[in-house]
Amino acid sequence: MVRLYDSRKRVLITQIIDESDFRLKRNIEMLKSCERIIVQNKFVRDFLLGIEISSNKIYVFPGAIDRQTFYPGTIFNESILVSGDFKLRKNPEAIAHLFKNNPDLEFIVHGKNLKILLDLGVGEASNVEFIEWNFSRQPQLIREASVFISLSKLEGGPFSILEALASGTPVVATDVGIAREYLNGKNGFVIPVDFKPEELRNRILDSQQLKKKTAGVDLLKGKFSWNDYGNVIYGD
Query: Taking 50 as the threshold, does the pLDDT of residue 195 lie above it?
Result: yes
The rounded distance, in Å, linking the Cα atoms of 42 and 40 is: 7
Query: Taking 60 as the threshold, does the pLDDT of residue 19 lie above it?
Result: no
DSSP element (H, E) containing 212: helix 197-214
pLDDT at 223 (0 to 100): 76
Confidence band of 51 (pLDDT split at 50, 70, 90): confident
DSSP-assigned letters across all residues of 149-188: EE--SS-S--THHHHHHHTT--EEEESSTTHHHH--SSSE
In the beta sheet, which residues pair with residue 112? 85
Query: Taking 80 as the threshold, does the pLDDT of residue 58 lie above it?
Result: yes
8-22, 39-53, 58-72, 188-202 — which is least confidently predicted?
8-22
Taking only the tens place, the pLDDT of each residue in 59-83 is 888 878 888 899 999 888 999 999 9
113: region left, alpha or beta (phi > 0 left; psi from -120 to 50 alpha): left
Beta-carbon contacts of 202 under 8 Å, excluding residues fewer than 6 positions away, are none
- C-beta of residue 31 within 8 angstroms of C-beta of residue 48: yes
Q: Which residues belong to CATH 3.40.50.2000 in the chain?
A: 80-214
- C-beta of residue 129 within 8 angstroms of C-beta of residue 109: yes
Assign 3-class secondary structure to 96-148: HHHHHHCCCCCEEEEEECHHHHHHHHHCCCCCEEEEECCHHHHHHHHHHCCEE
- C-beta of residue 159 within 8 angstroms of C-beta of residue 180: no
Of the candidate CATH numbers 3.40.1180.10, 2.60.40.640, 3.40.50.2000, 3.40.50.720, the domain formed by 80-214 belongs to 3.40.50.2000
The rounded distance, in Å, linking the Cα atoms of 236 and 221 is: 21
- What is the distance between the terminal CA atoms of the chain, rounded to a whole angstrom? 28
Confidence band of 205 (pLDDT split at 50, 70, 90): very high
Query: Taking 80 as the threshold, does the pLDDT of residue 12 lie above it?
Result: no
The rounded distance, in Å, linking the Cα atoms of 16 and 10 is: 19
Query: Taking 80 as the threshold, does the pLDDT of residue 235 lie above it?
Result: no
